Amino acid sequence: MHKSFRYAWNMVSIAGMIIAIVATGLIIAFLSMEVIMGIDHPYLGLLTFFMFPAMLVTGLLIIPAGMWRTRNKLRAAGADAVIPPLPRLDLNDKHQMKLTVFFSMATVVFVLLITVATIKGFEFTESTMFCGELCHVVMKPEHTAWSNSPHAKVKCVECHVGPGAEWYVKAKISGLRQVWAVLTHSFPSPIETPIENLRPARDTCEHCHWPEKFYSGRQKIFYHYAPNEQNTPREVNLLIKIGGTPKSPHAMGIHWHIGTEVNYIARDKKRLDIPYIAVKEKDGSITEYMDSDKPLTREEVTKAKKRLMDCTDCHNRPTHIYHSPGQEMDESIVSGKVDANLPFIKKIGVELLEKPYKSTEEGVKAIETGIKDFYAKNYPKLAQEKGAGITDAVKHIQGMYKRNYFPEMKITWSTYPNHIGHFYTPGCFRCHDGKHKTASGKIISKDCNLCHTVISQKQENIPAGIQVKDFVHPVDIGDEIMKTNCSECHLAKGHDVPGGGEQEKQAKHH
């Protein structure tokens, strides 16, 4: 053995061989475990496709390093006078021929293993498991929101990276910074949305949602329940004017905004404060609208960075969607998951969800205790008769909390504003506030009927059989409905005010 391997018979090279053999065995074992047993875990992937291949390469590099070291020692000591300055290969020598064949076959095996590991490693880094579960504490909120979104079947990289080498390299460089932030625990809580670094929607979203597609109106029914003892049902039936023939002279409706060239200036990173809008008209002229309350100077307009409006300016959270407690409770009641016959269940559910908790475990426990204690104290007979319904309600409300609240990262459902609509955030009213005017006095209207038409509406302050044409607020607030944004009342001090009762009056008063 010593004669056959000659220079390789040293502690350094033997250690390298052991490392390489162990790494090879682990790669084969873990790959087999994944394929045969179907085990899928982010940390197993990290070991199989990164750690073990790195061990294998390290071992393979250590072997020749030890051989070279031993050879130089022997040559320097004069132990073998025939050792030339550089290695010499003679395939006519049977011993060298055998070693050449052995190392050639071993190299092929190792190259195949490294190739498979590299390909699988690349696939692993492109997977949602890698993006969402590896750094589980940091990415848990976004991964949870993605898992419950309309794009739950779409990989993270398809939107956050997209096709092409340029953005792939950018994403990997950005990923290295993020890994370092996780390792050093220097990431912010909550993590800010990387708005400025996101790829334009025309490079990603429009591969599926192409603008040239013909759009029409869409009927949508919004189900709500009053925060009172009866959980009085409410219903708003709207025809949403999505639009038609985009990017044509006949473009109309909501998607007119992507069919027309619209540029704007935002004062803040979240693009909530938009003081300037420029619209390119059909004849090529530019119409400029300025916020009449806080206008920019002409010099500020010239120097400011203008953004071309695209899908993500409204659909800014198409995947990582957090739902308000009011919306979650409404959807659970209308779907039968939460019993509407439980008195005040809408109100008590929202209130318990919105209380501050130090951890998820504390929140989950407090919700169970709060609901059960409420019915045991106020409705003892019902608590016994509807024990199963109360238990189901607890389970579903706890699920709402786990989906939308992450105390460890200081994230709640309202941390990241969603610009679709205008109920909890300014949304449409960032521009359609009745305050953006041209120099000639033309105003961007705040008329609700620009985007949707009320087909019907049912609630306690609308007599049965009455057909309404305009939205009727559950509480009479006069002309404030046109003067005040919905979000100013319904998102009071960062908390959900489900609407229509004393809570909303108090929110408005404050």
User: Phi and psi for 286 in degrees, rounded to 5?
Assistant: -110, 125
Could you tell me the pLDDT band of residue 368, with boundaries at 50, 70 and 90?
Answer: very high
CA dist 172 → 122, 137, 165, 167, 347 (Å): 11, 20, 11, 9, 46
Cβ pair 27, 52 in contact under 8 A: yes
Cβ pair 436, 443 in contact under 8 A: yes
Q: What is the pLDDT at residue 504?
A: 44
* Cα(13)–Cα(233) distance, integer angstroms: 77
Q: Which tokens belong to 170?
A: 């950018």
Mean pLDDT (the chain) is 86
pTM: 0.79
Q: What is the pLDDT at residue 206?
A: 81
User: Can you spell out the DSSP letters for 403-416?
Assistant: HH-BGGGTB-TTSS
Cβ pair 257, 314 in contact under 8 A: yes
DSSP 443: B
pLDDT in tens, 216-236: 788 999 999 999 999 999 999
CB neighbour list of residue 19: distance below 8 Å, 6 or more residues apart? 55, 56, 58, 59, 62
* Other beta carbons less than 10 A from residue 440's beta carbon: 6
Q: Which tokens belong to 18?
A: 């052991």
Cβ pair 454, 238 in contact under 8 A: yes
DSSP 252: B
The mean per-residue pLDDT over the stretch 292-319 comes to 92
Query: In this model, does residue 507 exceed pLDDT 50?
Result: no
Count of all residues that appear for the chain in the document: 510
Question: For residue 505, which amino acid is it?
Answer: K
